[in-house]
Structure 1
Amino acid sequence: MQFEHLGATPRIHPEAVVAPTAVVSGDVAIGAGCQVLHGAVITSEGSPITIGDNTIVMENALIRASAVHSVHIGDHVLVGPMASVSGATIEDEVYLATGSRIVNGAHVGTGSLVRMGAVVHVKTTLPPGTVVPLGWVAIGDPVQILPAAEAEAISAAREELDFPGFVFGLERSAPDYMVQLTERYGAALARHGSDRQV
């Protein structure tokens, strides 16, 4: 299904194939030879999403651009089942394995591999050819690649990168942090109320 959102409609190359149960919404450009499989969601919440040629977005993957963080995915990329990309840049010939997560402001270099369940955190840059092992976390610039067992080091690095400030423009220490977050984000998402299926 395709939806017009905020006046923008998806632009899908005639040589791309999008499954009828996939959702493509808003300012999204999908290149030649792409395959978007069942249950995938590609949604622009105000910034553009561009997907290059011969890229595969597998079942139940999520690709989301926010109002301030666009998404660019290069050529010959595989976005695995249940993987997610939010407001990030993925260069050419990257493999994002099942359940991997790429967070706002991240940049994944050409030829990188993010294995199953791994995370590339907010504002993190992976140099070309980087491998993030199964379930590990890549964080920072310059990047540190840490096993999930090193939760304290990951938390310390995450605090420096200020996820809530960068993604939501909020101070986590505010007493009404979740009230502000849900009201602000809810108001932005409510703009889908006027979407039109195309």
Structure 2
Amino acid sequence: MLYEHLGARPRIHDTAVVAPTAVISGDVEIGPHCQVLHGAVITAEGGPITLAEHVIVMENALIRATAANSVHIGAHTLIGTLASIAGATVGEEVFFASGARVFNGALVGDRCEVRVNAVVMRRAVLLPETVVPIGWVAAGDPVQLFSPDRDAEIAAAQPELDFPGHVFGVDRDTPDLMVQLTERYGTSLARHRDDGEVGG
């Protein structure tokens, strides 16, 4: 299903194939010979998303841009089932295995592999041909790789996270943080009320 969001409609190349149960919303450009399979969601929440040629988005994967972080996926990249990419720039010939997660501001270089259930943290920079092992965490610039049990080291390797401030514009020390965050985010998401399905 294709949706216009904030006045922008998806643009899909004639040679690309999008499953009827996939959802493509807003300022999304899907390039030549791409495949977007059943249940995938590609949603531009204020920032653009571009898929270059021959990108494959498997079942139930999620690609999401924000006003702060657009998304670019390079050519010949495969995004596995249940993987998610939020606000990241991805090079060419990259493999994201099932359950891989990539967060806002990350840069993933050409020919990287992010294996099953691995995580690329916010603003991490993966040089070309980096491999993030199964279940491991990539953090920092330059990137460091950690087994998931090393949470203190993972936190130390990252820039100031300030997730509430960076993503939602709410100070972490706000006494009613979750009230402010959910109300502000809910107002932003309510803009979907005016979305319209695009025919074709």
Partner residue, 2:197: 197
Q: Is the 8 A contact 2:124 2:158 kept in 1?
A: no
Residues 3-22 of structure 1 show CA distances to partners (whole Å, capped at 9, x for unaligned) of: 00001000000000000000
Measured in 1, the distance between the counterparts of 2:140 and 2:157 equals 7
Amino acid corresponding to residue 131 of structure 1 in structure 2: V
The RMSD of aligned alpha carbons is 1.1
Measured in 1, the distance between the counterparts of 2:146 and 2:174 equals 29
Give structure 1 stretches of 5+ with no counterpart.
Answer: none
Partner residue, 1:170: 170
Measured in 2, the distance between the counterparts of 1:126 and 1:178 equals 32
TM-score, length-scaled by structure 1: 0.97
Measured in 1, the distance between the counterparts of 2:84 and 2:180 equals 25
Measured in 2, the distance between the counterparts of 1:183 and 1:151 equals 30
Measured in 2, the distance between the counterparts of 1:138 and 1:131 equals 9
Residues 83-108 of structure 1 show CA distances to partners (whole Å, capped at 9, x for unaligned) of: 00001101100001100000000000
The secondary structure found in structure 2 opposite 1:161 is coil
Q: Is the 8 A contact 2:124 2:138 kept in 1?
A: yes
TM-score, length-scaled by structure 2: 0.96
Q: Is the 8 A contact 1:116 1:135 kept in 2?
A: yes
After TM superposition, give the deviation of residue 159 of structure 1 in Å. Answer: 6.7
Partner residue, 1:20: 20
Partner residue, 2:61: 61
Alignment of 1:77-92 (within 5 A): 77-92=77-92
Partner residue, 1:98: 98
After TM superposition, give the deviation of residue 153 of structure 1 in Å. Answer: 1.4
**Compared CA separation, residues 174 and 158, structure 1 to 2 (3 A):** farther
**Compared CA separation, residues 152 and 142, structure 1 to 2 (3 A):** same
Give structure 2 stretches of 5+ with no counterpart.
Answer: none
The secondary structure found in structure 1 opposite 2:43 is strand
Measured in 1, the distance between the counterparts of 2:84 and 2:17 equals 20
Amino acid corresponding to residue 113 of structure 1 in structure 2: E
The secondary structure found in structure 1 opposite 2:20 is coil
Partner residue, 1:123: 123
After TM superposition, give the deviation of residue 176 of structure 1 in Å. Answer: 1.4
Residues 135-174 of structure 1 show CA distances to partners (whole Å, capped at 9, x for unaligned) of: 0110111111101010121233347333333222332232
Measured in 2, the distance between the counterparts of 1:134 and 1:189 equals 33
